[in-house]
Structure formats: structure tokens, C-alpha cells
Amino acid sequence: MSNAIEFSEEQAMLLETAMDFCSNKSAISKVRKSIEDPTGFDQAQWQEMMGLGWLGIAIPEQYGGLGLALGDVVPIVESMGRYLMGSPFLATTLAAQALVSNGTDSQKSEWLPAIASGSIASLALTEEDGNWELSEVSAKGAGAADKISLSGKKTFVLDAGLADIIITSINYEGRSVLVLIEKASIPDGNIQREIVIDETRRSYQLSLDGIQVPKNNLLANADFSTLENAALLLLSAEIAGGLAGVLNLIVDYLNTRKQFGRLIGSYQALKHPAAEILLALEAARSHVYHAATLSGSGSGSGESVQKFEIALRMAKAHNSEAFAYAGDRAVQFHGGFGFTYECDAQLYLRRALWCQYQYGDERYHRQKLAPLLID
């Protein structure tokens, strides 16, 4: 059935494990402490994730992974979103998917086992103009013998300061292609930390100027639609988790704060928006797990691919809007305190605004949905 939502035994186990892990490792006090850390990275925590097998979930078994589907990563990212956990997991998983769907056999054999064993990777697809059409690339590559010289800039490169490899898009010989850059090839000063609204993120600008890579670092394909699909699925899952986290924060405050001798949660003006957020959360999770159910059809053709695209764009559009609204209400419900940096609602609102504009906001995806649904 096209509208079915399947929740496998593997997903259920991963969700239970991930919720337990993230609640213990990412208390809000730890989240705030990590903001002050230059890397925002806990090596011991990363090793635990590796030990749990999370880094290799969607990597084929022949390359050291578990050989499961990308949909099986959804419960982990959802749990991380609920507790605002900052880690290179999202960036590394997306980079691994870029290799799985586009890499040569030798590139897969070299880097996928390394990622499954703890190497950090990232994707650099966004440029200074912020274009959400991933195949429209301004950064360039020029061939010289067996080397390619790169030029241009990439923005919003997650965890680039920690990455062992970065897969970036360039325009090479008139085509938009993907190329793998190893850390040793990047000159000092080419990676600069960006100031972004979500301080739990580590976002960087990458200058490609002066970087040379071997021609065999070109990936075999450049399937930007598959990369976008993977990013939309995992971002929508993270947003659904964040929505659950901010709702918990709201409910806790409404059942604690008193005004005029009554709990403020007893006032209808606060009850009704909280109920709306709960309904939005149920819809958000339904959208995400429906898309996860269809994720196996993303590389097929015809009607199944279209259904998967519709599910993804609906998830990103709905979830982006719902999380931004919930974050805003959380700040408002806290009154004057909500507008201070010490209020935890601020952290969720900042995460919501970051996620809202990654890989397209709700307006962009509804414009993409219109011809798919109407025509």
C-alpha cells in the first residue's frame, strides 16, 4: 500500500537503544557545555557509537557495515534531535551514502570500512549563493595531467574541522560532478568556522582554492537526487525528534509555572497551542516513517520513485514549519525569561531555524510538490 507505514523490529530496537543512549549522554547541561567546546566533539562518545554499530548501519556488509537500509538510521537521528545531541553522525552518514551511491569500487573499498570504524566524513554541496538545487554548481575543477585543481567556496560544511574526507561538488569539464578531498590535501586556513544560529552545530566554510586532488578521486557518478533524498529523510527525522523534545519542555513548564495561584497549563490560551504541537508531532513522525518505509524505492524508477519524493518533500515541508512554530511558542510561553540565552527553549528554536533552511524550506518543497500532486 502506498500510504503504509512499516516499523521494523530493527527500527524498534534501534529507537529504544538510541533514546536511552541520547538521554544519558546528551542532557541539556551537557549540550550547553559542548557549545563552549571548540570542536563540540566527544571522542569517547563517538567510539561508543561506533561500538554500537551505528556508523555502519547503511553501509553494505562487504565494506564492513551492517547492510541495513537508510530508513534504519532514522530512529537514531530522531533520538539525537530530541536531545539536541551534537555529533558528526549526520554529516558522516550522508557522506557515506554519497560513496555508496556514487563511488568507484576502489573508493568504496578504501573509505567505507574506515567510516564504519570511526573515520569522520562530510559533504560540501552548498555554495555562497545558498542555491538549494544541488546540481547547479559554481565551484570549479580544472584538469592538469593526473591532477585536478579546485576553486570556489562551499558553505555549511558540517564538522569539516574534524573530517578525514570531504566529498564536494564541482563543475568539471562542463558537468556537475563529485570529488573526494582528503584532509591532507586541504591547506591551512582553507577551513573557517562559521557563525550560525544553532550553536550546537559545527559549521564551516571551505575554500577550494589551492586544493589539488588526483583525478581518480572523482566519484564515478553524481546522483544529486539520491543525495538530496538522503539529506531530506535524515533532516526530517531530526526535526521530528526536536519537535518531541521541545514539546516535553513546554509541557514540563506548563505543569510547573504558576500565575495568579494557578498552573499556567490550565489556561486555554496555552493549552490549545500545546495540543496543536502534539498533533503536529504525530503528523511529523508519520511523515518521516512513511518516507522511511518508501526509502528502499528511491533508487528505482517510475511511480515508486515519485511516491518517495512526494513523501520526502511533504515530511520536510510539514516538519520544518511545525518545529519552527513549536520553538517560537516555547519561547513565548516562558515569558520574558524565554528571550534570554539561559532559557533552554532558545536552543530548540535555534535548532528549528537551522533545520528549516537546510536543503530547502517549506515553501521551496511545496513548490516542488505542486506539479507532483496536481499534474
pLDDT in tens, the chain (375 residues): 356 888 888 899 999 999 999 999 999 999 999 998 877 788 999 999 999 999 999 999 999 999 999 999 999 999 999 999 989 999 999 999 999 999 999 999 999 999 999 999 999 999 999 899 999 999 999 987 799 999 999 999 999 999 999 999 999 999 999 999 999 999 999 999 999 999 999 999 999 999 999 999 999 999 999 999 999 999 999 999 999 999 999 999 998 887 887 887 778 888 999 999 999 999 999 999 999 999 875 555 678 889 999 999 999 999 999 999 999 999 999 989 999 999 999 999 999 999 999 999 999 999 999 999 987
Where exactly does CATH 1.20.140.10 map onto the chain?
224-374
Handedness of CA 103, 105, 106, 108 (dihedral sign): positive
Residue 221, amino acid: N
DSSP SS3 for 169: strand
Where exactly does CATH 2.40.110.10 map onto the chain?
122-217
**What CATH number belongs to 122-217?**
2.40.110.10
Say which CATH topology domain 9-120 has.
Answer: Butyryl-Coa Dehydrogenase, subunit A; domain 1 (1.10.540)
The whole-angstrom separation of Cα 268 and Cα 262 is 12
Query: How many CA atoms does the CB half-sphere of 338 hold within 13 Å?
Result: 18
* Sheet of 191-193, strands arranged across: 153-158, 203-207, 191-193
Say which CATH topology domain 224-374 has.
Answer: Butyryl-CoA Dehydrogenase, subunit A; domain 3 (1.20.140)
Long-range contacts of 366-371 (CB under 8 A, 24+ apart): 366/313, 366/317, 368/313, 369/310, 369/313, 369/314, 369/317
Among the listed residues 363, 233, 367, the one whose alpha carbon sits nearest the alpha carbon of residue 295: 233
Dig out the grid coordinates for 304 from the structure: 515508486
